[in-house]
C-alpha cells in the first residue's frame, strides 16, 4: 500500500473517533460556539445565523464543517463530473460520498490548499506535514504515528 492511502486511513481513524465510519462531529453543544457567526472561525466557515456552529458541525470522514460547504447542494469541488447533488451535510455521512470527499479533497488541496503530493511523493512520505491537508498540524504527531504503524504492519505482513 502506498503512503497516500496510509495517511488517508490514519486521518479517518482520527477524525472518525476510531470507528472508520463517517460520523457527525462530537462534542457538547457549547463546543461548537467556536464556529458561531462573529467568531473568526465562524466567519471563515460562512456561518451567518446564530446556531449555525452546531447545525453545520463537521460530518463525514474529514468533518466537512460550516454553512458555506454544507448549506446548499454538494459543492462542485467535492463532486466534479458526478451526479450527486444532495446536501453535503447529510450525504457526507454516506460512506461512498465521504470517501469521494476525502479522496478528492486530499488529492486536490480542496480543504486547506495543501495537497497529498505536497508531502507524500517520490521523495518520501512526511505524514506529519500531510496533516496540513485537513487541519493544520492539529494532532499531527498522533496521526503520523497511526500512519507509521499502519505502514509497519503492512510491510511486515508482506515480508513475513
d(CA 62, CA 82): 20
pLDDT(72) > 50? no
Instruction: Give the domain CATH number at 137.
Output: 1.10.530
Q: What is the pLDDT of residue 159?
A: 76
Q: Which domain holds residue 115?
A: 3-159
Higher local confidence (pLDDT), 8 or 82: 8
Q: What is the pLDDT of residue 50?
A: 96
Burial (CB < 10 A; 0-12, 13-18, 19+), residue 57, is: buried
pLDDT(79) > 70? no
Into how many domains does the chain fold? 1
- What is the mean pLDDT of the segment spanning 101-116? 90
Question: 3-class SS at 120?
Answer: strand
Percent of the chain having pLDDT more than 90? Answer: 64
pLDDT(83) > 50? no
d(CA 150, CA 104): 22
Is the dihedral angle over the CA atoms 158, 152, 124, 131 positive or is it negative?
positive
Amino acid at each position: 500500500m502506498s503512503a497516500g492511502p496510509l495517511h488517508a486511513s490514519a486521518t479517518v481513524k482520527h477524525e472518525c473517533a476510531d470507528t472508520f465510519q463517517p460520523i457527525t462531529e462530537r462534542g457538547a453543544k457549547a463546543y461548537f460556539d467556536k464556529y458561531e457567526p462573529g467568531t473568526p472561525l465562524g466567519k471563515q466557515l460562512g456561518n451567518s445565523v446564530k446556531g449555525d456552529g452546531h447545525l453545520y458541525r463537521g460530518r463525514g470522514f474529514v468533518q466537512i464543517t460550516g454553512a458555506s460547504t454544507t448549506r446548499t447542494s454538494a459543492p462542485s469541488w467535492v463532486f466534479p463530473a458526478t451526479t450527486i447533488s444532495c446536501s453535503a451535510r447529510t450525504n457526507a455521512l454516506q460512506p461512498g460520498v465521504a470517501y469521494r470527499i476525502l479522496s478528492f479533497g486530499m488529492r486536490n488541496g480542496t480543504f486547506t490548499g495543501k495537497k497529498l503530493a505536497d508531502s507524500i511523493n517520490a521523495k518520501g512520505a512526511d505524514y506529519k506535514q500531510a496533516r496540513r491537508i485537513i487541519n493544520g498540524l492539529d494532532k499531527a504527531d498522533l496521526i503520523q504515528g497511526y500512519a507509521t504503524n499502519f505502514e509497519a504492519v503492512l510491510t511486515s505482513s508482506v515480508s513475513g
